Structure 1
Amino acid sequence: MTHNRRKKTMKGTRNSIDDQRLSGETHGCGSHTDPCEKVRCELEEVREEIAHLRRTLHRIQQIARLGYWKASLKENELFWSDVIYDIFGVAPETFTPSIRAFKAMVHPEDLESVEAGMWRAQETGSHDVEHRIVRPDGEVRWVHELADYAPEGDEQILIGTVRDITEQKRLELRLRQLSRTDELTALFNRRYFMQRLVQELARYRRYDRPTSVVLFDFDYFKRINDTHGHPAGDQVLMSVGKLLREKLRTNDIPARLGGEEFALLLPETALEEAVGVAEKVRQLVLEQTFTSEEGHSFSTSITCGVSSFHGPEETVEAILHRADQNLYQGKRAGRNRVVADERNG
């Protein structure tokens, strides 16, 4: 009887194992011999790996501020990845992407170039444009779109990416400002002044619009440095820089040419009006009072030379030469004055 019970027990054990195999109750995919269960476990592992890759891809897109999109030009349909919603400052729950909705967020000044790029893509096969967007909160950001034109039957499909390049644009703007700005006075530097002077001469030759130039420097500036120290001299230069930025028109070009030498490029300004501007600047400088590090008060003055474009043979060299000659004529006549071209010149 003991032998028969042992047989029954062993048989019961085998039946229990078989039942577990059929019901899928064994622990760990690696221990299964059932093909269906093995496939199920492998599919689950693949799903987990895909989910992990998606999370990784999403994280990479967030770090790079890069999203991907697909647009149907024919159907006005647009798909956005999650990061693009963040770039545009909208929520997936409340915003439905479409080409019309996208265009409504493009900065009005950039919309024409964006639309031109989309239509050009149908000819060249690629879409590459940088533009601004205006988010619902009013913030303006820069984006860079890259896409391929991939027609599917009669569908007009663009597939591409969009990257937030706002910080890059801010850096570019800062570098551009540094390349054309005098560090001490925050005015334009000589290089930029000369570039703009050439441009204004070309405009004058084409449209015959009046343009004038004022050159000025400080009277006895070396005496300020020798008496009150170089920090006092820098204070004077910075002060006149601030004055010019505040008092001139936005389209005027005030520049520091070097040392204590300054220039004003005055578009749309005839000689008589330019003399008035120079006289105003001269008077404002004269009225200022400065204080040295030792507490001594002092003032200073400037002498200005003014000249205007005139005649079809006008050159940059000629107008600068005339303004310079007028300035030194003022120096010889006693300083602290404005000297201009002869009115009939």
Structure 2
Amino acid sequence: MIVSTTEFLRRNNGHALLPETRPYRFNRPPADPAPDPGSRIFRTGFAGDAEGAARLAAQQSRPQDGTAPAHVLAEAYWTGVSGQPARAAARLEQALDELRAARPGAPDDAAALELRNDLAHWQGESGDTGGARELFEQLLADAAVVLGRRDPRTLLIRGNAAHWRGRDGEVRRAADDFRRLHADCRRALGTGHRDTLLAHNNLAFWTGESGDGRGALELFEELLPQVLDALGADDFYTLAARNNVAYWRGFNGDATGALAQYAPLLRDCERTLGDRDYHTLSTRLQYGLWSGVAGDPATAVAALSALLPDVEAVLGPDHDLAHAARHQLARWHGADGNPRAAVAILERLVADQRRVLGADDYRTLATQGLLTRYSSA
């Protein structure tokens, strides 16, 4: 099966600046896995050393007050971010067993629910989407009893359950779930609350994933001024909302409009996040991609040629973002009248993707399709 460029773009919008802001963190927002931004763990992880952050978290003392073991949550988070989601899930399962052993026969409390939340997330990230979905659905039923249906933590778990339903293939149900969750968050938390904005964002994302690109754009355009008012221009989620408007504008046929929004967004990402941040790098990929779609393949080639060594230096040559940059670089070399350069890139890329992802992965198939196209040019 050959995957079209449009399908490749739709399925790879995760290379943008988090089109769906995944709400898996339980008490803290996803961008803040360490409770204190000034902590050494936080600084180490966000400086690019996820494994080092995990080691530092493992050295922290255990709490004695019955609260969730924050050091375990941080250790698991950075272990998962470092590319070891199964190990992160195993660490959380061990901590959950220890917590339950200290309270034999007692029902799970809020601390246990938090561990179960993160355990379900990393189980899903390790490839078991169905298992993650089941764990979140069980967790949601328990949280409604322990915390109450309108508790903000229960609402976050509802978002997580909806997310993994979507990841497990029930895309339309995920959109419907987020539509109801968004309405409930507005009533319980207010329109400007971060979690309400998160639900709005994820409603828009899954609306797009369900095939309604125009509806996704309208929802993201509605969200952006609310995020600006609530969080400010430099907040991470404001940058994400700007990205999402630009992405879906381009997806709906306005490549020039998308490019006009990506140029200032990239400057702001570099200023606020730094030039080595994953999201800055992914925004550079989007800038190159939409330059080509807008009719300027030479600029796309230049932008992506500059991006590729930076991505490989920061994330490694086998990272998904590095593969996407190589794919797009080859694509625009071909569109710029240089099929030989495109084929040279694609031959190596398809071999790497077969090794890393497997021959039947949609990204491998997309690269193989592009290679077939330019090999016959």
TM-score by length of 1: 0.21
RCO (CA 8 Å, sep 6+): is it higher in 1 or 2?
2
Which structure shows the bigger proportion of residues in strand conformation? 1
Larger radius of gyration: 1
Which structure shows the bigger proportion of residues in helix conformation? 2
